[in-house]
Amino acid sequence: MAISECQYQFMWHRWNCSSLTPSSRIQQNSVLLQRGYRETAFAYAILAAGVAHNVARTCSMGRLVSCNCDPSSYKGKTPVDAKDVQWKWGGCSHNLDYGLEFSRQFLDTREKVGDIQSTVNLHNNQAGRLVVASNMQIRCKCHGMSGSCELKTCWKVTPDFRIVGKILKERFRNAVLVTQSNLGSVTPSVRIRGSRRRRPDRPRQRKHRDGRRRKPRDLAKQLFYYQKSPNFCERDPTTDIAGTAGRKCNKTSTAGDGCANLCCGRGYNVVRQRRTELCHCKFRWCCMVKCQNCTVEEWITVCK
């Protein structure tokens, strides 16, 4: 799930999460996960979030013998959509606490605390889990005669993982550059991209256009990186970089999916592609849909 979401979010980037497959190489041998790039930060965060999310949801389905529904009663917390009716906590809430702890035990224990790589990895793992925890959603079901909603039963569920991926993608864009000296202090001095180094006790405060000071960023939620990323243009098996040769691109686009960006100045080829898709689908009583397989030919542009 985490890798699929990574591939979706970086579909039109030079790095498209190819470093995270096959799954057997995710933690042990992937060279990218031994670096300190922005992409490494995103990879660690979404993998940690994926483990927590999947385990929390699986617990509520009864598929794990070691956990079940979240036992919390959420006393004193009223669901937003149940304020005007009688309600109660019920159903089967996703077991977030168990999912978070499982993610910590499964991923964090692999890190050797002390060096910059492990410290940053642990931080990004936690940042990924925080996205899941801070975006839990409430589901409610109505009870009553003739469809009325005299009583609501509510429970908590993990967010759709697309939401998690979208938030982490935004955190990737605004990732924080750190150095070795930053990480040992209680209040780490961080050097944000495009800014000068500053004293630890004087965090930079930007101003809104109306003159009001902006609140400092919550660093616990941000992704950390400590190495400049390569351009990912050329294939390099020693660093798990697949390159962009052969990648499909849009010759008329000036955005990330454009050939000018993806092909790194090498140009592109126009090739004919043949693919099979379902067509002429008809509903048959009762109750099935029958389709034919049609061959479609189209011209596409791919990077040289």
* Model pLDDT for residues 55-95, shown as the tens digit of each residue: 999 988 887 778 888 777 555 555 555 555 555 666 688 89
Query: By percentage, how much of the chain surpasses pLDDT 90?
Result: 45
β-strand partners of 273: 298
pLDDT band at 215 (very low <50, low <70, confident <90, very high): low
Sign of CA dihedral 267, 272, 278, 279: positive
Chain centroid offset of residue 125 CA:
11
Model pLDDT, residue 60: 85
Tokens 């955005």 belong to which residue? 255
Averaged pLDDT score across all residues of the chain: 82
Pick the residue with more confidence: 148 or 303?
Answer: 303
* pLDDT the model gives residue 85: 54
User: According to the model, what pLDDT value does residue 167 have?
Assistant: 96
pLDDT per residue as tens digits for the range 93-117 = 889 999 999 999 999 888 876 788 8
Q: What pLDDT, on a 0 to 100 scale, did the predictor assign at position 201?
A: 45
Residue 213 has pLDDT above 80, yes or no: no
13-17, 71-75, 262-266: least confident range = 71-75
Span 198-210, average pLDDT: 50
What is the dotted CATH code of the domain comprising 244-303? 3.30.2460.20
Overall average pLDDT of the 187-209 stretch? 47
- Nearest CA to 263 out of 14, 10, 1, 4 is that of 14
**pLDDT over 70 (residue 183):** no
Predicted confidence (pLDDT) per residue in 138-179, tens digit:
888 887 776 677 788 888 899 999 999 999 999 999 999 998
Residue 13 neighbours by CB under 8 Å, 6+ apart: 232, 256
Q: State residue 184's pLDDT score.
A: 53
Tell me how far apart the alpha carbons of residues 54 and 289 are, in angstroms, rounded to a whole number: 32
Which of the pair, 190 or 182, is modelled with greater confidence? 182
Question: Distance between CA atoms of 292 and 139, rounded to whole angstroms?
Answer: 40
What is the percentage of the chain residues whose pLDDT exceeds 70? 78
Q: Kindly report, as residue ranges, where domains of CATH 3.30.2460.20 are found in the chain.
A: 244-303
pLDDT given for residue 6 in this prediction: 93
Interval 21-51: pLDDT, tens = 754 444 556 888 889 999 999 999 999 999 9
Is the confidence at residue 214, as pLDDT, over 70?
no
How would residue 193 be classed by pLDDT, with cut points 50, 70 and 90?
Answer: very low
Return the pLDDT at 101: 93
| Cα-to-chain-centroid distance, residue 124 | 11
Q: Which of 193-202, 203-212, 229-238, 284-293 has the highest mean pLDDT?
A: 229-238
Strands 151-157 and 137-143: antiparallel
Q: Which residues contact 26 (CB under 8 A, 6 or more apart)?
A: 3, 20, 33, 47
